[in-house]
Structure 1
Amino acid sequence: MSGHGAPTPEAVDASDLRVAVVAASWHTEVMDGLLAGAHRALEEYSVGNPLVVRVPGTFELPVVAATLAAQGYDAVVALGVVVRGGTPHFDYVCNAATDGLTRVALDHQVAVGFGVLTCDDDQQALDRAGLEGSKEDKGHEATSAALQTAHVLKRLRRGRLA
């Protein structure tokens, strides 16, 4: 795990953006941390009424994100966690989530925050969850990235990006 080289973006006013957060339910403690980080970022960026939707697991994130994107949300933040086990399940879920969320972004031309932790063990997930004692705050990072990208897309569409 390395936060080395991570950008430190300045929050932009995103109060005019429609934002949704879709979060998996597995690994409650980690997910609580990711959601708290997302809420901190939403507050920093002045997003007033984000929609928060819960789904069973990480595999379900893309279909719900696609539905939200089709409903006109400017940014969709996807939060989940997959911890490696002794079967290929980890690879299938990680690939499906990554490929699916990429499709959502490209097919709908919407900012998608990728807050899916893909970890070898529970400790790695806890270290990234933004909890007290965590080394990283991936919920905040994914939300910030989505809001920054949505801001750029909105400016591009208005012809205001030099």
Structure 2
Amino acid sequence: MSGKGAPELTVKSCGDLRVAVIAAQWHQQVMDGLVDGALRALHELGIAEPTLLRVPGSFELPVVAKALATRGYEAIVALGVVIRGGTPHFDYVCQGVTAGLTQVAVETGVPIGFGVLTCDTEAQALDRAGLPGSTEDKGHEAVTAAVATAATLRSVSEPWR
């Protein structure tokens, strides 16, 4: 979900969902904003006891997401930030994280809210981090997307007869 044109999602009856948030540790100010936004969204949705785990960086998000997806979590939110530098490292990390999280979601059927910022500058990341003065709150958005998808999956969980 991105800024302009983002859908207005309504999520109901999800307070009992088992949700985990995994957050990278690089770029502490940005990550603090993303985590705060995610936890605020979970609280607003009535999810009182989410699991919060921290990993070193964004590249580590997929392996932890896979572990959680196989341990009964119904929605996972992956938060991180990768800021472009002067080498191709940015491209490899962004591609690996995106492909890894997608693979986990498709293989396990557990929705993953993608809250990994891939920005050219730190200013762009701060503007998306949900901090005072930010124009976007990607942590909040990632939770809403993951929980809305989990609620949709619950609605189709009965076998078709």
Whether TM-score is above 0.5 comes out as yes
Residue in 1 that maps onto 2:4 = 4
Q: Within 5 Å, which residues of 2 pair with 1:81-96?
A: 81-96=81-96
Aligned partners of 1:125 and 1:159: how far apart in 2?
42
Residue in 2 that maps onto 1:143 = 143
Please state whether the residue corresponding to 2:87 is helix, strand or coil. Answer: coil
* Structure 1: stretches of 5+ with no match in the other structure: none
Moved segments of 4+, more than 3 Å: none
Please state whether the residue corresponding to 2:72 is helix, strand or coil. Answer: coil
Aligned partners of 1:7 and 1:20: how far apart in 2?
23
Are 2:11 and 2:151, in contact at CA under 8 Å, matched by a contact in 1? Answer: no
Q: How many residues were matched structurally?
A: 159
Please state whether the residue corresponding to 1:16 is helix, strand or coil. Answer: coil
Please state whether the residue corresponding to 1:126 is helix, strand or coil. Answer: helix
Q: Which moved more, 1:98-107 or 1:2-11?
A: 2-11
Please state whether the residue corresponding to 1:152 is helix, strand or coil. Answer: helix
Residue in 2 that maps onto 1:64 = 64
Residue in 2 that maps onto 1:16 = 16
Q: In the alignment, is residue 33 of structure 1 matched against residue 48 of structure 2?
A: no
Q: Within 5 Å, which residues of 2 pair with 1:42-81?
A: 42-81=42-81
1:48 Cα deviation after fit: 1.3
Aligned partners of 1:20 and 1:159: how far apart in 2?
26
Are 1:11 and 1:44, in contact at CA under 8 Å, matched by a contact in 2? Answer: no
* Structure 2: stretches of 5+ with no match in the other structure: none
Letter in 1 for 2:33: G
Identical aligned residues as a percent:
61
Question: Structure 1 length as normaliser, TM-score?
Answer: 0.95
